[in-house]
Structure 1
């Protein structure tokens, strides 16, 4: 599981810096959510159903990776333009 998260984080560090609009931001976040759903499935859980402090450690790691990914969308320049 840790290897998967490391690969995910490294792949987002390789994203080039560009400016984009709301569509690109939405596509980036959709990609983050797709990876998070796969992460939950690998952990034996269902996204949107398993939550709280009683969640397994693998699910909490998926949540942390999702947060990093979402922040990466903004850092990569995919922030929505007002």
Structure 2
């Protein structure tokens, strides 16, 4: 059993780089969207409703925060890979 554990630990040490892949990217994006829905609800709006030029400042702030969150998913290394 000890030999198996040693081999397992050595194999983990040999892994030098792991990419997150599409699943992690999807999870991160889903988290961003869930936060945006909560932000819209707090602003008294419904996500997906078009306001046009009459969008309240709170909705615009939610949109900006959503964009930053989605950008951070890529910066965190969760970019979709093939």
| Category of TM-score, reference length = shorter chain | 0.7 to 0.9
Unaligned runs of 5+ in 2: 1-17
Which is helix-richer, 1 or 2? 2
Q: TM-score, normalised by structure 2?
A: 0.75
| Aligned match of 1:19 | 19
Unaligned runs of 5+ in 1: 1-17
CA gap of 1:50–1:44, structure 2 versus 1, over 3 A, is farther
Which consecutive aligned stretches of 4+ in structure 1 deviate over 4 angstroms post-superposition?
A: none
* Mapped partners of 1:29, 1:66: distance in 2: 9
| Aligned match of 2:62 | 62
RMSD of Structure 2 on Structure 1 (CA): 1.3
For these two proteins, the number of residue pairs brought into alignment is: 65
* Structure of higher CA gyration radius: 2
C-alpha deviation, 1:19, in angstroms: 3.2
C-alpha offsets along residues 24-67 of structure 1, whole Å, 9 cap, x if unaligned? Answer: 00000000000000000000000001432211000000000000
Q: TM-score, normalised by structure 1?
A: 0.75
